[in-house]
Structure 1
Amino acid sequence: MLYIIAILFPPLAILFTGKIFQFIFNLILAALGIFLAIVTLGAFGLIYLLAIIHAVVVVHSYRQEKRDERLVKAVRGEK
């Protein structure tokens, strides 16, 4: 679900992961991409595409961190 949000609304997906500084960076990147797309009459612009890629990478790393935490808990025998 976060991957779909990362493609449609990149800053929102990063906000859901709880990474505030990454959210601010992506928000600036997405806003700049949308602004330049409007000014240059482009579809979305390459900068907005970079915001999408950044959001997908952040969401992937968030999910990987959660998997790692579950694995560590399982090895330690915690619930």
Structure 2
Amino acid sequence: MIYILAALLPPIGLLLNGQPFSAILNLVVIVICVIFGLIFPILFLVPSAHALIAVHMKREDRRHREVVDAIRQHGPPPGYPR
């Protein structure tokens, strides 16, 4: 759901994902893309792409932290080389 929101309303998707600085940067990118998008229409996709990549990276970071915390709490998995 957050990916759909990030694709359609990038700054709001980033804010709801807990990334206020990325949302501000995305607003700046939107303004720049609106100005230059009249010449290069493909630029209208840049803010959405930025939001999707930022949301994905944040979710992967959270998942990585969960795995690291589980390893710290329970130890490495059986058969893990040391």
TM-score, normalised to structure 2, is 0.73
- Opposite residue 65 of structure 1, the aligned amino acid is D
Percent identity of paired positions between Structure 1 and Structure 2: 32
Moved over 6 A (4+): none
Shift of 1:4: 0.4
Shift of 1:36: 5.3
Measured on the aligned residues, the alpha-carbon RMSD in Å equals 2.1
- For structure 1, which segment, 47-56 or 15-24, has the greater mean C-alpha deviation from structure 2 after superposition? 15-24
TM-score, normalised to structure 1, is 0.75
1:33 aligns with 2:33: yes
For structure 1, the residue ranges without an aligned partner over 5 or more in a row are: none
Of Structure 1 and Structure 2, the greater helix share is in: 1
| Residue of structure 2 equivalent to 1:68 | 64
For structure 2, the residue ranges without an aligned partner over 5 or more in a row are: 75-82
Pair member with larger Rg? 2
2-structure distance, mates of 1:14, 1:55:
6
Alignment of 1:39-78 (within 5 A): 40=38, 45-77=41-73
How many residues are paired up? 73
